[in-house]
Amino acid sequence: MRSAFFAVARFIFGYLAVLALIVLLTVTLQHLRKGSAEEVLMGQRGSALSTPLIEKTLATKFEEFLRDLPSITVWKSLRGTPVFPQIGDALGATSVLTALSLLFSVLIATLLLLLEAVRPRLSTTLLALANAVNTTPIFLIGIVFIWFFALALRLLPSGGDESLRFFILPALSIAAKFGARLFLLLSNYMAEVEKKKFILRARAFALSERRLFFHKLANCTMPFLIFWLIETASLFSGAVIVETLFTIHGLGSLLLFALLQYDIRLIFTNLIVIATIVYLTSVIQNFIAERSSHST
């Protein structure tokens, strides 16, 4: 009971610390923007009332931001549109991209593992190929996929998010890298499982390689879950490149747009959503890792 209380307290204080850092980052970004006050004065909406913007200190802006924070549900962006509907639409697009990417990653890794098990001679080649893909920047993979699947073969659209079909190519671009990484992880883990006693016994009873493969794969559930949580967090926090490259209106592209426009309210709410997802997945990942270490 006491350990559960401390775990909950640690979770709450950790999340509050994340929120505090995001607030400080957002206000500092607003304060350090050079020329922002001058641009307001020179713009069409500029007036004498805009002059005090130059004289406001960081502490004053921080206090004003905290006073404005309780009304976050009715915030509007610089374009005058409500913030939360934009975040909701972007979160939906990023969630679809994440789900498809993780699904394709699992399929790619499983097929590579199966090919390695069926054709052991290809193991070195597959590992070298996976390492090469894993070390390739994701935007290069995306450009190659756009050229091959969209321009050369004309099988898939090169950008957009009108339907599920538009998400296949960007999801495959992400899955190529993440699937290669998952294959490298599970391949090493299955090599360790190969030395376990139950596998040796199974071989003594002349079980087929196909059944042995699925037995070993079933023992990779825990590292797979940890990998899935890590990659989900990294995908949500690093979706800017992929969504910009494929013109997907997700959290990444929305954050980039907000940063270019210095839309402080949109930046803050976007960072809160991304940080919450990353924080929750990291907490679940640590919980699973601790449980697995205790069980062993």
Contact by Cβ (8 Å): 157, 170: no
Within a domain: residue 32?
A: yes
Radius of gyration of the chain (CA): 24
Are 140 and 260 within one domain? yes
Boundaries of domain holding 270: 85-193+220-295
Name the one residue in this structure whose structure tokens are 């990417």: 101
76 SS3 class: strand
- Please say which residue of 27, 42, 71 terminates a domain: 71
* Per-residue pLDDT tens digits for 2-37: 677 777 888 889 888 988 999 888 888 877 765 444
Q: What's this model's pTM, rounded to 2 decimal places? A: 0.81
Q: Which of 209, 220, 218 is nearest to 187 (CA)?
A: 220
DSSP 49: G
* Phi then psi dihedrals of residue 11, to 5 deg: -65, -45
AA letter at 278: V
Are 182 and 228 within one domain? yes
Residue 281, pLDDT score: 82
Calpha distance 225→185 (Å, rounded):
12
* Per-residue pLDDT tens digits for 120-139: 888 899 999 999 998 988 88
Contact by Cβ (8 Å): 222, 292: yes
Contact by Cβ (8 Å): 245, 256: no
Q: Which of 112, 24, 80, 97 is nearest to 247 (CA)?
A: 97
H-helix or E-strand spanning residue 88: helix 83-118
Are 24 and 164 within one domain? no
Are 12 and 62 within one domain? yes
Residue 12, pLDDT score: 87
Q: Which of 37, 29, 35 is nearest to 58 (CA)?
A: 29
